[in-house]
């Protein structure tokens, strides 16, 4: 495995990229960010990825991983909850190759965060089933069994009380509906109890921007499963993508 990788994290408000030291899981130099174009069509976002790679002067032999806020099934996006609908059915390996002139390795954003936690963070050396959830605009999930990722779980879209779970319990909804920590924690309680009942995990790792405020909501939750905040916070997507790309070299 090479010791340097590059990760690009495509989000609803910004597209972020950095070079990553794969031995430590830390950024090499600055992270750079460009606003997500509106509308966030595949071509417009791919062009932003090109600008980011140019900005970082990423050499052609450095593996590049790109995260998407959607499942990525053999390169293809089957549905897209929180970005432009025109992504549905797009093969993102072909799209990025066309715009970037190089192969890249795509993966789901929560899977990238989960991998980063397994390799460098809170899920390192944890046996059994770890469920990493990212609380943001949506709810992302990564299932990790004995250190191995089971990709493309979509536990943010569990239907609970007739609602798509992320439309009730994401941190985006907390902001949108101006919910107090206590009110939001009630929704999280329902969500995590349901996931716990279905999967009996050994550990929950909670990531996403709001996890820096974990002290405000985690103590309000009553679960059988141990729950810890993510360790990598907002670097997890980029770091996980870079690591994944370096572990699954482009042909
Ligand atoms: C998407 C997931 C994604 C999560 C976080 C959900 O709406 O379906 O694929 O991981 O949002 O971005």
Answer whether residue 47 shows pLDDT above 60: yes
Answer whether residue 97 shows pLDDT above 90: yes
Answer whether residue 249 shows pLDDT above 90: no
Ordered DSSP codes for 56-113: HT--TTS-EEEEESS--BTTB----SSS-GGGTT-BHHHHHHHHHSS--EEEEHHHHH
Q: Which of 10, 69, 171, 211 to mutate to test the pocket of ligand 1 (most atoms within 8 A of CB)?
A: 69
**CB 160, CB 168: distance < 8 Å:** yes
**CB 136, CB 170: distance < 8 Å:** yes
CA gap 243, 251 in Å, rounded: 16
Answer whether residue 250 shows pLDDT above 70: no
CA gap 126, 181 in Å, rounded: 29
| pTM for this predicted structure | 0.97
CA gap 106, 17 in Å, rounded: 14
Q: Given pLDDT bands bounded at 50, 70 and 90, which one contains residue 248?
A: confident
Please name each of the domains of the chain with its CATH number.
4-110+236-247 (3.30.420.40), 125-230 (3.30.420.40)
Distance 119 CA to ligand 1 centre (A): 21
pLDDT for res 251: 45
Answer whether residue 1 shows pLDDT above 70: no
Ligand 1 atom closest to residue 111's alpha carbon, by position in its atom list: 10
Q: Give the tens place of pLDDT for each residue, 5-46.
A: 999 999 999 999 999 999 999 999 999 999 999 999 999 999
């Amino acid at each position: 495995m090479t010791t340097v990788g590059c990760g690009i994290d495509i989000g609803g408000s910004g597209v972020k990229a950095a070079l990553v030291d794969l031995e430590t899981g830390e950024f090499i130099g600055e992270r750079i960010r460009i606003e997500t174009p509106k509308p966030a069509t595949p071509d417009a976002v791919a062009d932003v990825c090109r600008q980011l790679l140019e900005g970082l002067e990423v050499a052609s032999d450095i593996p590049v991983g790109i995260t998407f806020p959607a499942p990525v099934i053999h390169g293809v996006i089957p549905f897209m909850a929180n970005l432009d609908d025109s992504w549905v059915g797009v093969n993102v390996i072909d799209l990025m190759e066309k715009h970037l002139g190089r192969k890249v390795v795509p993966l789901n954003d929560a899977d990238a965060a989960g991998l980063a936690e397994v390799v460098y963070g809170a899920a390192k050396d944890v046996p059994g089933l770890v469920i990493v959830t990212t609380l943001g605009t949506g709810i992302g999930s990564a299932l990790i069994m004995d250190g191995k990722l089971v990709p493309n779980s979509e536990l943010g879209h569990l239907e609970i009380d007739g609602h798509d779970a992320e439309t009730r319990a994401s941190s985006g909804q907390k902001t949108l509906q101006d919910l107090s920590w206590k009110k939001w924690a009630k929704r999280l309680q329902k969500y995590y109890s349901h996931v716990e009942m279905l999967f009996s995990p050994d550990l929950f790792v909670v990531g996403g921007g709001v996890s820096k405020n974990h002290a405000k909501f985690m103590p309000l939750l009553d679960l059988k499963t141990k729950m810890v905040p993510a360790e990598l916070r907002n670097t997890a997507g980029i770091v996980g993508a870079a690591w994944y790309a370096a572990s699954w070299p482009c042909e």
